[in-house]
Amino acid sequence: MHPKDYLHDCTELLALAMKFEQPLDSLIGDFLSRSRRAGARERDSMASVIYTVMRQRYRCEHLAQTGPGPEMRRLALLGFALSHGGGALDQPSPDAARPTWWTDYLAPALTPEEATWLAQAVAQDPTQLPPAAQLNWPDWLVQRVQPLLGPALPALCQALETTAPVDLRVNLEKAKRSAVLDQLRAAGVMAEPTAYSPWGLRLQERVKLAQLPEYQQGLVEIQDEGSQLIALLTEAKRNETVVDFCAGGGGKTLALGAMMRNTGRLYAYDTSNKRLEGLQPRLVKSGLTQVHTLVIADEADSRLARMQAKVNRVLVDAPCSGTGTLRRNPALKWRLTPARVAELVQLQHRILAAAAVLVASKGRLVYATCSLLQEENEAIAQAFSKDHTGFMPVSAQTILTRQKIEGAASLCSSDGLYLRLWPHQHASDGFFAAVWERKD
């Protein structure tokens, strides 16, 4: 692909992404599927450029205030420079996962003025940029997270600009973690056990998972380590009745089924038929046969009444802002608004109250989000405890310690009550979880 064509397509794709009209991964996939002139390496590079600009939008926009050519082209050039060698086009990328064949690739597409401007722009000391350009976060989001982290906020923002690792959960119904790790290493796939989850493996490099026999055979599933820990908080056991109230694509459903050793009854509820249909082939591959799916209209669906006070464990992985997943969805922070968060908070209150009705005597309720925001997390949990005195809060730290999770205290709030995972501290997505048990 000629560099001029590459830069043209990259600029066009970036202009579409900056409209924030659809999820970034699907937008990039749709655009590149229509491109006949881009090879595999160009496609990977374009995606990297777009994600870089989204992660570092304020920095890129600040640096692009001046310079030759249209602004969108300048942003694309900055995204290229920042994602391929940290700004030095004549130097190999410091990221070993990226190819070094880009050395001098784009030079023929640049005017002398553009080349000079780009070298000067990316050479600027990031610590001398305005605060917004350093953090790359909307002001309203900074105001809500700053009180929770104080001086550690820049570290969080920086962590969320990195590419998320690929974590796998070993399906203990089919294999042991040590055995799968040995198989992967023997096949040349570099992986390590996750730091906290007893089921997890973290890949050290990108691989085509669909081609791995371990993935094809259902020995492993993609699941962030933090998500694995949330499933573990349920302590689901053999022959119990368990509900995954907001199952989505079913990642936690599969983890729960393995915990239950494919016994009992596991129900996966969701309002999206499409998401639950996507779970079916994963269930077949996993070997789980005790899972029953149900598409519900909403949290007040009358069919839920038949399960009232009959469920041993209920997991509520509530719809949320997703601010803990910004490594994977960098455009989300620009689409999200305070008004949308307020809507989600009201929905979270309703869903948690509806799910609580299903919990049997002495049963457990787990509320979880992938949000960093206090109003979606601690505030929801505290309000529920106040309004539902029949439920007793349970220490997440106590559960994790009982499960022999190393460093359990470091994964929780200072009082040990809640699970609180931060990308800059735990190298996982940002997660929150609260646990209760019904008294009678």
Task: Check residue 262 and give left, alpha or beta (phi > 0: left; psi -120 to 50: alpha).
Answer: left
Question: Which ranges constitute the DSSP H helices of 160-212?
Answer: 177-186
pLDDT score at 177: 97
Spatial separation of the C-alpha atoms in residues 64 and 305, rounded to whole Å: 57
pLDDT score at 23: 87
pLDDT score at 102: 54
pLDDT score at 85: 66
pLDDT score at 103: 54
Task: Check residue 239 and give left, alpha or beta (phi > 0: left; psi -120 to 50: alpha).
Answer: left
pLDDT score at 95: 43
pLDDT score at 316: 98
- Residue 315: CB atoms within 10 A of its CB come to 27
Q: 10-residue block means of pLDDT along the chain (440 residues)?
A: 91 94 90 84 90 94 92 94 61 39 74 90 87 92 95 95 94 95 95 97 91 94 97 97 95 96 96 93 94 94 95 98 95 95 98 97 98 98 97 98 96 97 97 96
pLDDT score at 119: 87
Spatial separation of the C-alpha atoms in residues 8 and 222, rounded to whole Å: 34
Q: Residue 390 is encoded by which pair of tokens?
A: 């029949």
DSSP states along 86-106 = TT-TTS--S-TTS-STTTTTS
Alpha carbon dihedral 199, 204, 208, 212, in 10-degree steps, equals -50
Q: Which helix H or strand E contains 437, and what residues bound it?
A: strand 431-438
- Sorted by sequence, the CB contacts under 8 Å of residue 166 that are 6+ apart come out as 202, 203, 206, 207, 209, 222
Residues linked to residue 366 through DSSP beta bridges, in sequence order: 315, 435
